Amino acid sequence: MRAGDLLGERYRLVGELGRGGFGVVWEAYDQRVGRQVAVKTLRDQDGRQDQEAGTDRARFGREMAVLARLTHPNIVLIFDQGEAAEGGESYRYLVMELLNGLTLKQVLATERPELPRALDWARQLCAALAAAHAADVIHRDIKPENIMFTDPDHRLLKVLDFGIAQIGDNKDGGLTTAGVVIGSAPYLAPERWRGEAGTVRSDLYALGCVLFELFTGARPFTAAGTYALMVQHVEAPPVPATALPRELDRLLLDLLAKDPAARPPAAAEVGRRLERVAEAVRDLRRRADAAFQAAGEGRAPEALTQLRPLIAQFALAFGRGDGRTVRGCHDFAVLLARAGAHDQSYCLLDELLPHAAAALGEGHPDVEDIQRRLARTPVPERPCPPGVLDALLSGVNRAGS
C-alpha cells in the first residue's frame, strides 16, 4: 500500500501520518463526499507471530466498536470502516476525521500554557471522558500522546486511540496473556499495576497524571525504569503542587490517590471542580480591575490595599514572569509613589527591572516603562533592603486564600 492507492474504491491515500506495530495511519481523500480524512489500516497477515497479530486485530476491532458508539465534540469521529485487498494482501481499515493540530505532548514540549487556557483544556478532557464513561467505555490509555488539537490555535482538543479501551467490566483484569500490564507506565493507576480491572477511577488517575503535567510542566512520578516507576505509582505520595491555586492542588492530589475509592467518582465531578477554579481566576481579574479603577480615581491607599494580595495571586495563577504579574508590580510601585512612599517605590522598581527584562525581554514596552519610571524616582538615601519584590510576589501562600 502506498500514496496514490485507492482504498475501498473511495479513499485515495495521500501520505503517511504515522506508523507502528498496529499498522499505518494515512491522510486520505474521500472521493465520495470530497473531504480529507485519516485512515488507519491493519494488514490481516503481517508476518509476525500469530498471537501478536491476533492481538492487534482484536485491538483494531475493539477501537472500531468503541468509536462507533461514541459521538462527542472532544472525541475523534469515526466515519467508516471496512476491509480491502491490495497487492495480494487483505487490510482492515478505519476512517476517522483528520486533525490538523499537534498532540498535547508536542504542545507541552514547547510551551507552558497560562492557567486559564490549561483549565479550558482540562475541562474538555473531562467532558470527553464523561461521555466515554456514560457509554460504558473505559479508555485505559489516557496520556498526552493520545490527546490532539484540531487546529494550530489549540482551541479544541480530542481524545484519540481507543485501541485498548474496554466496554463494560473487564473480566480478564489488566494484564495481557503474557502477563504484561496494558497501558502507558507514566500514567498507570496503582490498581492497574497490580493487574486489576480498568475502571472509571483508573481512567481518572491517568487524567490526574496528565493534568499534573499540564499544570506544573512535570509528571507526578519520574523514576527511570519501569519497576521504579511502578513502585512510585503504587507507594509514593505525589508532591503537592504548591504553586497552584489551593483547590486545583487539592483536586490533583485527589485524582492521584492510591485508593480508587478516595478519587473523585466521575469525570463530570472533576469538570465541576475545575470550573470552580476557573471562576476563582476570573474573580481574580475582576478584583484586579476594581483596584485599578480605585487607582485611576485617585484613591491610592485603597488601591494599594486591594492590589497587594492580588499581585501574589497573579504570580501563582499565571507565573512570576507573566506580563500581568509584572504590570501589577509596576502599578503597585506607581501607587506607592502616589501615596508618598517614594523610597519603597524606588526599591521595588530597582528589583523589578532585571526581573522584567529577563521575563519579557530588554526591548519590551513594559520593561521600558519601568526604566523610565525608575529614572524619574528619587534614589533613597539609605540602601534598599533585599527581597522587596519577592516579598510582594509571595504575599499569600495560595491563590484564592
| CA pair distance 262, 360, nearest whole angstrom | 42
The answer to whether the CB of 123 falls within 8 A of the CB of 108 is no
The pair phi, psi for residue 276, each rounded to 5°, is -65, -40
Residue whose entry in the numeric block shows the C-alpha cell 487483505: 90
Half-sphere exposure for 192 (CA within 13 Å, toward CB): 28
Q: Which three cell numbers stand for residue 83?
A: 476491509
| 141 part of the active site | yes
Contact 93, 85 (CB under 8 A): no
Q: State residue 158 phi and psi, 5-degree precision.
A: -135, 145
Cell 499537534 belongs to 102
Tell me how far the alpha carbon of residue 338 is from its chain's centroid.
42
> Which residues lie below 8 Å from residue 378, measured CB to CB, with a gap of 6+?
342, 346
* End-to-end Cα distance, the chain: 60
Concatenating the DSSP letter of every residue in 77-107 gives PEEEEEEEEETTEEEEEEEEEPP-S-BHHHH
Length of the chain as a residue count: 401
Phi first, then psi, for residue 239 (nearest 5°) are -80, 130
Cell of 98: 483528520
Give CA separation, 314 vs 151, 287, 317, 362, 382, in Å.
29, 11, 5, 22, 30
Dist. CA 79–CA 39, nearest whole Å: 10
Active-site hit among 30, 56, 141, 331: 141
Question: H-type helices in 225-341, by residue range?
Answer: 226-235, 246-255, 267-296, 300-318, 323-338
Helix (H) or strand (E) holding 42: strand 35-43
**Residues tagged active-site:** 141
